[in-house]
Amino acid sequence: MPRRRRRIVVDTNVPVTAKSGTDLQCKLTCIERLEGALNGKYGPVVIDTGGEVLSEYRRRLSPSGQPSIGDQFYRQIILNRGNSTVVLEVEIQKHEGSYREFPATEDLSKFHSDDRKFVALAIAGQASIWNATDSDWHEHRVALRTNGVSIIFLCGVSAFRRKIS
């Protein structure tokens, strides 16, 4: 049986934490993971064809790639669109304030609307989601896992904060 190709969806809080995080261990973990992502260690980064993820990245990161690894990550995503070994673009469909791909279950009804695109991408792109500091992922981890969503928590619960956006 062929091995399933790894893919990742990177929540905005990961490159932002790498850029300006206050928890040193969490920041170092994010930097290390983003460096690995830039070197292709984790497979392609999954983004949406509609540009919602890039738009969110643009609000928090610099497309010049400076001054941080978080900014470098964003720049590489921009430069490698069209290179599916680095960036895999997947279509997700908006539907009634959410996405068709997002599980319509009661246990996820309070999941933050801004992060639903990442869940939809993970499902559509068969990818794992990286989270650094957003507590909403942790609070809904069981429901997400039950619905087939794999989350990789890069930082301990002590690093969590409410929404960064």
Q: What is the CATH number of domain 8-159?
A: 3.40.50
What global pTM score does this model have?
0.91
**Is a pLDDT exceeding 70 seen at residue 159?**
no
Report domain extents, the chain: 8-159
Residues 131, 15: Cα–Cα separation, whole Å = 10
pLDDT digits (tens, 9 = 90+) for 69-106: 999 999 999 999 999 999 999 999 999 889 999 999 99
Residues 19, 28: Cα–Cα separation, whole Å = 10
pLDDT digits (tens, 9 = 90+) for 5-48: 589 999 999 999 999 888 999 999 999 999 999 998 999 999 99
